């Protein structure tokens, strides 16, 4: 579906913008003709120098990153998305694990790429926009001219083979390489396209890291719907980018949504007043959206929805639908596709089965068997429930459930939500402490410590005795987070 859609846009709307990039204070389009030509050139290079190989991508969000990834999908290679925030040691581990033969990178990470290459014998490297890369692309263009045909003149790629490897965030365990076929990403595209209004003439942005599955799947969704995608490599400038690219809607993580709300509040009473046009909708994912941030966005006139999925399901499980109306702090509705099945197990775990599910963890059959049962159901590890109308509610990770010495169970996410609704509390992390597993809360706030403790004491008076927070630790700095916005758990 992706290949055919790209080929269709190349033929029927070659001059439409596929991407928007910044040049000074202007926004310039990159057409579908150029985008698909660039993909074809990179496919030619892969076919000549590294057919069927595993190629790693390292860099900030960029047009070149998407071209390289799409070329891997359509050339029969496997793209490995690398978190640019990782140190060289961690990158080396990942690339060795998946037997990568090449590392393509942006100029911003040239030194890191060079460091990685020195530690992996035979690893080829290429920088976006460098002389060496330009040489290969120039040769590709000549080769295509002589041959007279490009990838767009051939058959569609095999959508069931492993075309992408995306590593899990590793917040609670060792990161694993998730093998995803094109079909898994296409499932997200189809599900999201049914849930959310978008199409030709709309503009949006890449506001999610492309090495994360939500960002990757969301970008392909926008492209498949003919949306002009603005390139925003610096997420700290989200407000300026939305104005520059005149974004109609955005896919975003909750932490960035909170930052965006604060920027809007400084410049107007609503998004329309501050930005000069309304934001039709925001979809948050990658981490839970707190009620505080939800209410903040809605107060600014921004319809706010949430989605839920894991790396292992190509970010597909459930998603808010504009037509369904608001479901504050839910994970939206289950995927509206016949081929995607969802249910809750007897133990209260959310399960999913269908083409969105990974092929497996790379070279880890035992780990794969622990999460995909004999009937093909993927076990998410998340506790939750599904209402009769398909609305999904996440109660938290089963692995984080606090089991008290009394045998009672506590979902830490529930208490974290209550804490984050307190005035001045920005972030909270709840865990069990010691042999008794007494409840412990670590809190980062914008108010003095004594006020935090007073608020927690007041909250405790409203809680059942077994849920009360016994230990409070007040942080002076925000929690470290993954690139998808999740708090890193020790």
Backbone φ and ψ for 123, nearest 5 degrees, come out as -70, 120
Q: Is residue 341 over pLDDT 70? A: yes
Q: What's the token pair of residue 166?
A: 């995306």
What DSSP line would sit under 250-272, residue for residue? EEE-HHHHHHHHHHHHHH-SSHH
CA pair distance 457, 436, nearest whole angstrom: 20
Q: Locate the domains of the chain by residue range.
A: 2-383, 401-475
Supply the DSSP string of 349-370, one letter for each residue: EEEEESTTS-SEETT-HHHHHH
Please give the full DSSP string across 401-433, using - where no structure is assigned.
-EE-TTS-EE-HHHHHHHHHTSTTEEEEEEEEE
pTM of the model: 0.84
User: Topology of 401-475 in CATH?
Assistant: GMP Synthetase; Chain A, domain 3 (3.30.300)
State the pLDDT at residue 433.
75
The confidence score (pLDDT) of residue 340 equals 97
pLDDT in tens, 89-120: 999 999 999 999 999 999 999 999 999 999 99
| pLDDT tens figures, 162-192 | 999 999 865 445 789 999 999 999 999 999 9
pLDDT tens for 40-79 read 999 989 998 899 999 999 999 999 999 999 999 999 999 9
C-alpha span between 231 and 222 (Å, rounded): 13
Tokens of 216: 């990757």
Instruction: Say which residues have a Cβ less than 8 Å from residue 39's Cβ, sequence separation at least 6.
Output: 6, 67, 70, 71, 74, 151
Q: For residue 279, name the pLDDT band (cuts at 50, 70, 90).
A: very high
The pLDDT assigned to 286 comes to 82
Class of domain 2-383: alpha beta
Q: Is the pLDDT of residue 213 over 90?
A: yes
Q: What is the pLDDT of residues 284-298, one digit of tens each?
A: 988 778 888 899 999
- Which tokens belong to 254? 């909750």
Q: How would you label 355-379 residue by residue, b for 16+ Cβ within 10 Å and e otherwise?
A: bbbbbbbbeeeeebeebbeeeebbb
Q: Mean of the per-residue pLDDT values for the chain?
A: 90
Asked if 2-383 and 401-475 have one fold, the answer is: no
State residue 406's pLDDT score.
Answer: 56
Q: What is the pLDDT of residue 168?
A: 85
Give the integer Cα–Cα distance in Å for 131 and 136.
9
Min mean pLDDT across 24-28, 182-186, 466-470 is at: 24-28
CA neighbor of 427 nearest in space, from 208, 254, 171, 206: 254
């Amino acid at each position: 579906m992706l290949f055919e859609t790209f080929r269709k846009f190349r033929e029927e709307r070659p001059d439409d913008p596929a991407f928007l990039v910044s040049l000074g204070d202007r926004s310039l389009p990159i057409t579908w003709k150029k985008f698909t030509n660039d993909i074809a050139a990179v496919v030619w290079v892969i076919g000549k120098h590294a057919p069927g190989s595993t190629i790693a991508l390292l860099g900030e969000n960029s047009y070149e990153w998407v071209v390289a990834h799409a070329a891997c999908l359509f050339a029969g290679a496997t793209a490995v998305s690398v978190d640019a925030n990782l140190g060289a040691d961690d990158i080396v581990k990942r690339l060795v694990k998946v037997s990568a033969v090449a590392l393509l990178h942006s100029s911003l990470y040239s030194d890191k790429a060079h460091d990685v290459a020195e530690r992996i014998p035979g690893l080829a490297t290429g920088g976006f926009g460098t002389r060496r890369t330009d040489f290969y692309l120039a040769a590709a263009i000549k080769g295509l001219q002589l041959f007279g045909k490009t990838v767009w003149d051939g058959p569609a790629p095999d959508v069931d083979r492993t075309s992408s490897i995306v590593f899990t965030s590793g917040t609670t365990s060792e990161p694993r390489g998730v093998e995803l076929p094109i079909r898994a990403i296409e499932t997200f595209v189809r599900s999201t396209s049914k849930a959310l209004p978008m199409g030709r003439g709309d503009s949006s942005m890449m506001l999610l890291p492309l090495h994360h599955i939500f960002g990757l799947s969301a970008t392909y969704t926008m492209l498949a719907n003919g949306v002009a995608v603005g390139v925003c490599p610096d997420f700290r400038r989200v407000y300026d980018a939305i104005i520059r690219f005149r974004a109609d809607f955005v896919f975003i993580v909750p932490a960035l949504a909170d930052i965006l709300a604060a920027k809007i509040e400084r410049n107007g009473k609503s998004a329309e007043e501050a930005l000069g046009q309304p934001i039709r909708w925001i979809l948050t994912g990658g981490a839970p959206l707190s009620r505080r941030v939800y209410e903040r966005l809605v107060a600014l006139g921004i319809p706010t929805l949430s989605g839920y999925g894991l790396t292992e399901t190509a970010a597909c499980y459930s998603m808010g639908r504009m037509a369904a109306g608001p479901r504050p702090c839910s994970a939206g509705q289950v995927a509206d596709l016949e081929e995607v099945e969802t249910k809750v197990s007897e133990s209260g775990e959310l399960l999913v089965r269908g083409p969105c599910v990974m092929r497996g963890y790379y070279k880890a059959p035992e780990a794969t068997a622990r999460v995909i049962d004999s009937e093909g159901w993927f076990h998410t590890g998340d506790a939750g429930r599904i209402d009769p109308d398909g609305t999904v509610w996440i109660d938290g990770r089963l692995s984080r459930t606090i089991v008290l010495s009394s045998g009672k169970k506590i979902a830490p996410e529930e208490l974290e939500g209550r804490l984050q609704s307190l005035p001045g509390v920005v972030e909270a992390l709840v865990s069990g402490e010691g042999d008794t597993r007494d409840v412990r809360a670590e809190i980062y706030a914008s108010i003095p410590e004594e006020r935090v403790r007073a608020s927690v004491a007041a909250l405790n008076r409203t809680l059942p005795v077994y849920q009360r927070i016994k230990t409070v630790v007040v942080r002076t700095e925000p929690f470290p987070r993954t690139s998808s916005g999740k708090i890193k758990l020790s």
